[in-house]
């Protein structure tokens, strides 16, 4: 029975029972080796879904320090450019 699994976090290994047959850099290579030997392409691994990223905090333009305001009209409107 051929199987594939991660090998040292970065590579993919193909095993026959407990015997290591080969180590590949990419998953596609490990699947190709198994397909070449058995004639049947194995199913790729099921990937875990990532948790959604938290929302990004973006302050209102009036709360930004003057050196952060990129809109010239808003800069003049807040009278930060006038001395």
Tokens of 37: 């030997």
Within a domain: residue 21?
yes
Residue 3 has pLDDT above 60, yes or no: yes
Rounded Cα gap, residues 20 and 23, in angstroms: 8
pLDDT at site 74: 66
Within a domain: residue 76?
no
Residue 82 has pLDDT above 90, yes or no: no
How many structural domains does the chain have? 1
pLDDT tens digits, one per residue of 14-25: 999 999 999 999
Residue 58 has pLDDT above 80, yes or no: no
Within a domain: residue 20?
yes
Rounded percentage of the chain residues whose pLDDT exceeds 90:
46
Within a domain: residue 12?
yes
Residue 66 has pLDDT above 80, yes or no: no
Within a domain: residue 7?
yes
Within a domain: residue 30?
yes
Q: Residue 64: exposed, middle, or buried by beta-carbon count in 10 A (0-12, 13-18, 19+)?
A: middle
Give me the domain span that covers residue 23: 2-38
Within a domain: residue 23?
yes
Mean pLDDT value across residues 7-16: 94
Within a domain: residue 46?
no
């Amino acid at each position: 029975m051929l199987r594939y699994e991660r090998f040292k976090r970065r590579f993919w290994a193909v095993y026959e029972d407990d015997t290591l047959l080969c180590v590949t850099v990419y998953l596609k290579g490990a699947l190709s080796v198994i397909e070449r030997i058995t004639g049947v392409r194995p199913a790729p691994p099921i990937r875990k879904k990532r948790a959604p990223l938290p929302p990004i905090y973006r302050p209102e333009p009036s709360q930004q320090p003057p050196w952060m305001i990129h809109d010239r009209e808003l800069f003049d409107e807040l009278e930060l450019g006038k001395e």
